Structure 1
Amino acid sequence: MYQQVQTPASSSRSHLIISLAVFFSGYLMVFWPSLARMEGIWRHSETYMHAYLILPISLWLIWRQRERLAGLPMQSTLWPALFATPFAMAWLLAYAVDVNFVSQFAAIFFLQLMIWSLLGHQILRIIWFPVVFLVFLVPFGEAANPILQQVTADMVVHFLRLVDFPIYREGLYIYTPAAVFEVAVACSGLNFLLTSLVLSCLYSYLHYSRWYKAVAFIALTLVLSIIANGIRAFLLVVIGEKSNMAYGFGADHYYYGWLVFFLVIMLAFWLGAKFADDDAPAATENKVPEQRTVPISKTTLVCLALTLLLAGSISRNIADTPTPEQPAQLEQHNQDIAGQSNWGIQFYDGLSRDHWLTEHSVELFMASYAHRQEHGDMITWHNTLYQPEQWSITAQHHTGSLLNGYGILQLVNTRGQQRAVLYWYQMGEHKTSNRVAMKLLQLAALLRGDDTPGYVFAASVTGDQSIEDIRQQLLAAKQQHLVDLAP
């Protein structure tokens, strides 16, 4: 009769594997709301669909190093666990006021530090890139859309003038003899830029061992991606103009774009291969190091466990304000201005919402939101101060201080109609046109137990008056109708 003897090394390794499973399960339970929202963005946005491949790629990169990892001790370490605690706190604060960008980054940073803490320094030296690569799970970059739109419009105009094409530009609208073209958000090239960033980082890791080569290749690929998007937009304008809009803006719109992107990426890879390092990270090593005892730091495990338990318990106790099926109407105007106006301001799922017209033909809008609601949020991507598909910004101004000011947008549409919008967000007595500042004001109110809702106010007027006349008209409407509506 034989009895299997378990060595100390295999016993410790089994304990650590169990610890890994427990902690990853706890991580999923605590941070699931942020992870689920990330996946929802991937599913509904073509810009971020590449994120579905990030985790499989990271796991494959780790699998390539399996022989190098086989004999290394998984020695948990305390410092990364301590560094992970502030990210858990940041996640809690951002989660409390629905700042998805911050909460999602904090959730991924916590995961990376937890992996480092549980596996130790030696293993992380081997798998550092697959762990860092997980940052691309987070949908980011939308703040760059306005800049990318301007850059794309500049390139299109430049290329068209090089070939003596008759054009006129106003904001993001490009007028040609056959049509009016808009460099919309979908034309900014953000999807090309993010895909290029992911591919260039992966390519650099696999082919370069010198950091300056990797940085240079990534920068080159991003520049080529921006240029490629400009060329794509230029070709679409030319194709649409020459075919009298018969081609270039149907299903073939996407085919042309991705064909140009594919050619540019292949060019970047071809150039990058010429400077590849011979000592780039190897896939595996044939020699398997001798197995060693796996020490487990109880202090590290306790630190991570307490952080997860605390974050989980606090997040479960954050109450959501019930959202009414229809926002209340605070001002009884009996007007269907929203159905008659082409302004297109839209703020969904608020506690209240009003949109009316003054006797001087100035449109006014106000809506209120709780700090955290069952559905919706005031500062979110689908709440906009105008209809982006119809209007283009020609200028924007911010007046006053950060916590006592307002913003003005000047808009134009494809018919040449002009509109100006004066707006601000308000929390208590503080008024700001900065969305980040408004979120911080909501967070401060939440922490001190103040459940007073936040507000968005806007006034708009159409016409081609001077900027100063429009500003004075909007300020007069603001002073007369909007100032005293919020407590």
Structure 2
Amino acid sequence: MPVPIVVLVFAVVAAGFASTWRSLFVAWTDFYSHGFLVAPYGFWLAWSRRHEVPSPARPWFAIVGVALVLSLGWLLGRIALLQIVHQTMLPLILASWALAVFGRGALPVVAAATVMLLLAVPLLTAFVPLLQSVTVSANAALLAVSGLKAEITGTFIRIPEGLFEVADGCAGSAFFAAGISLAAMYVSLMRTSRQAAVVVVLSAVVLSLVTNWLRVFGLILVGHWTNMQHPLINDHGWYGWVIFAAVQPLWLWISAKAETRWPHAPHEIGGESPLSGVDWRVVAGASIACLTGPALALALQARPRAAAPATLPDLAAISLSEAPALVQPGQWTPSAIAGQQHLQAIVRNGPTAVQVDRVIFSNQQQGAELVGTDRHLGDSVEVLTDEVTAFSTTPVRLVRQAIVRYEGGVRLVWYWYRVAGVGTTQSMKAKLLEIPAGIIGSSPSEFVAVSTPCGPRDCADAARALRAVLTRP
């Protein structure tokens, strides 16, 4: 099979996952910018080492089945809007295509390239909570050594001059990911031995962590010395990268020493490229298996969906209309504004005003889904309690009960989710219900809440008002 045809088919398979590439591009543009370097390097690495694959190619037929399973896993991730799932599946699917076509002999080359592509996926953001905790602990030690008085509560560090928060963006995940990615590129490019590779990666991790600790500590010192008036306090995005760049010569020196201590073994380079010896039938089978998920996703997307019901059974006696002004000073509203429709009503129960909200997700997209990263109880609220409770015993009817403190006071909120006509108080169950709902094309998903103000310590009257609204005939 001609080399250009093989390359073209692979490109078509990769392009079939355009929606995932778009989500990765957004991540790289937003907070994972090293992906612009790492992903192309992974493809270049595979191409530059193609002569190391035994020739002629010996297809690995069993991997075609693996490719099909991975593609269906990608589809489930897309349907459930689990971005990290379908992003992670993409490099594995491309790797399965290459292994099926070129065989076991391609495993070292494919594995090296796949590692680089996986490093372009925001998997390392899972370490953010741990990195936050470690950064706070490290700065507590640095502050103790410096003698600067500080009070630490959770991720907040208060000094006499002001307050610092080690938020998600300050956890150092960007330096952590960049350091590991640079180490992986170094190991693959220099072909370091296993012992040297361990030293290269560990030193990159340690120096990346130290970079962030020094960055945060430096900001605290600047805030202390300038009474929080220095411009660096509010604009310090570039500042950490300056420190990161400054420690890279030390990392390169450590890596060079490790290579001297444990030199790598020579590698063999074959003659003719295996690209010219592949079987077109294996290429076709592997390509079909890989593209099954995207093809089914297009079919599901093109199918008409059922219209949303006018009212929920639980709220049949309440007439809701489009919420006119969702966000006003001192007013509580769900933060699930990403839904395609927001219906709202104010129901009087004696002197108590009960607010009813339905946020409808008729066409969910990444970043605008029923169950995602948004906090439905509000973007700027403090959640005092959040638990499942029964508001009726005959029959038993459950809601999720939360007490929130916001700008306008304290509020009792009863809320739940509805997916494909099924109500649930569990966000994880709602997410799982969306998989079959997305396949069968059922009615849109919804976030439903009834709420009313309550006292800071006693919400019994508020609960009675909500119960009266939900149990009215």
Deviation at 1:441, TM superposition (A): 1.3
**Offset of residue 84 of structure 1:** 0.8
Tell me which amino acid in the other structure corresponds to 1:350. G
Partner of 2:447, secondary structure, is strand
Question: In the alignment, what sits opposite 2:88?
Answer: 105
After superposition, the C-alpha distances for 1:30-85 in whole angstroms (9 at most, x for unaligned) are 21122122212222x1x21111112332244345546645x732333212222111
Superposed CA offset, 1:3-23 (max 9, x none):
xxxxxxxxx5x2x54134224
Q: Distance in 2 between matches of 1:288 and 1:426?
A: 59
Measured against aligned partners, the alpha-carbon deviations of 1:318-377 in whole angstroms (never above 9, x if no partner) come to 2377999xx999635988562123768522332432567886688775422236469932
**One-letter code aligned to 1:137:** A
Which residue, 217, 224, 240 being the options, matches 1:257? 240
1:57 and 2:44 correspond: no
Q: 2:112 aligns with which of 126, 129, 147?
A: 129
Amino acid at match of 2:159: T
The residue that corresponds to 1:3 in the other structure is none
CA 1:483–1:374 in structure 2 vs 1: closer, same or farther (change >3 Å)? farther
Aligned in 2, Cα 1:302/1:408: closer, same or farther, shift over 3 Å? same
User: Which residue identity does 1:50 align to in structure 2?
Assistant: H
Task: State the Cα deviation string for residues 259-300 of structure 1 (Å, max 9, x = none).
Answer: 332344444443333222654376x76x76368896544552
Alpha-carbon spacing, 1:274–1:247, altered in 2? closer, same or farther (3 Å): same
- Choose which of 25, 28, 35 in structure 1 pairs with 2:12: 25
1:27 and 1:308 in contact (8 A); partners too: no
Distance 1:36 1:292, change over 3 A: closer
**Length-normalised TM-score, structure 2:** 0.77
Alignment of 1:4-43 (within 5 A): 12=1, 14=2, 17-28=4-15, 30-43=16-29
Q: Secondary structure at the match of 1:196?
A: helix
Q: 1:184 to 1:131 in 2, by over 3 A?
A: closer
Of the three residues 164, 178, 190, the one matched with 2:147 is 164
CA–CA distance in structure 1, aligned partners of residues 93 and 374 of structure 2: 28
The question of 1:352 aligning with 2:335 is answered no
Opposite residue 57 of structure 1, the aligned amino acid is: Y
Seen in structure 2, the aligned counterparts of structure 1 residues 167 and 309 have a Cα distance that, compared at 3 Å, is closer
The SS at the match of 1:175 is: strand
- 1:171–1:84 CA distance, 2 compared to 1 (3 A): same
Shift of 1:174: 3.0
The amino acid across from 1:178 in the alignment is: E
- Tell me the distance in 1 between the aligned counterparts of 2:153 and 2:344: 29
Q: Is 1:189 aligned to residue 172 of structure 2?
A: yes
Mapped partners of 1:127, 1:107: distance in 2: 14
Instruction: Please name the residue that 2:298 is paired with.
Output: 316
Aligned amino acid, residue 453 of structure 1: S
Is 2:61–2:282's contact at 8 Å kept on the other side of the alignment? yes
Name 2:434's counterpart in structure 1.
442
State which of 121, 128, 138 in structure 1 corresponds to 2:121. Answer: 138
From the superposition, tell whether residues 68 and 352 of structure 1 become closer, same or farther in structure 2 (CA, over 3 Å).
closer
Corresponding residue for residue 7 of structure 1: none
Distance 1:174 1:32, change over 3 A: same
8 Å Cα contact 2:388/2:400 also seen in 1: yes
Is 1:228 aligned with 2:221?
no
Partner secondary structure for residue 318 of structure 1: helix
Residues 35 and 263 (structure 1), Cα distance of their counterparts in 2 relative to 1, 3 Å cut: same
Unpaired runs of 5+ in structure 1?
1-11
1:455 counterpart residue number: 447
1:412-458 residue CA offsets vs partner (Å, 9 max, x unmatched):
99xxx998977654434442444x43221111333355325232547
From the superposition, tell whether residues 476 and 110 of structure 1 become closer, same or farther in structure 2 (CA, over 3 Å).
farther
1:304 to 260, 263, 286: 286
Q: Aligned letter for 1:451? A: S
Contact 1:85/1:307, CA 8 A, preserved across alignment: yes
SS in 1 for 2:59: coil
> Which amino acid counterpart does residue 40 of structure 1 have in structure 2?
V
1:376 is matched with 368
Maintained 8 Å contact 2:344/2:355: yes
Deviation at 1:307, TM superposition (A): 2.2
Following TM superposition, by how much is the alpha carbon of 1:192 offset from its aligned partner in structure 2, in angstroms? 1.3
- Give 1:460 shift: 8.3
Kept in 1, the 8 Å contact 2:344–2:356? The answer is yes
Identity %: 21
The size of the alignment, in residue pairs, is 452
Does residue 96 (structure 1) correspond to residue 87 (structure 2)? The answer is: no
The residue identity in structure 2 corresponding to 1:58 is G
Q: Where do 1:227-246 residues align within 5 Å?
A: 227-246=210-229
Q: Tell me the SS of whatever aligns to 1:84.
A: helix
**What letter matches 1:18 in structure 2?**
I
User: CA contact under 8 A between 1:78 and 1:299: conserved in structure 2?
Assistant: no
Instruction: Return the alpha-carbon distance in structure 2 between the equivalents of residues 482 and 374 of structure 1.
Output: 32
Contact 1:423 1:433 in 2 (8 A): no
1:361-400 correspondence runs (5 A): 365-370=357-362, 372=364, 376-381=368-373, 385-387=377-379, 399=388
User: For the Cα contact (< 8 Å) 1:76–1:300, is it kept in 2?
Assistant: yes
Tell me the CA shift for residue 256 of structure 1: 2.8
Q: Could you list the runs of 5+ residues in structure 2 that have no partner in the other structure?
A: 312-317, 391-397
**TM-score, structure 1 length as denominator?**
0.75
C-alpha contact 2:74 2:86 (8 A) present in aligned 1? yes
Query: Helix, strand or coil for the counterpart of 1:275?
Result: helix
Cα distance, 1:215 vs structure 2: 4.3
CA RMSD of aligned residues (A): 4.4
Residue 338 of structure 1 pairs with residue 327 of structure 2: yes
Please identify, of 34-43 and 119-128, the stretch whose mean Cα deviation from structure 2 is larger.
119-128
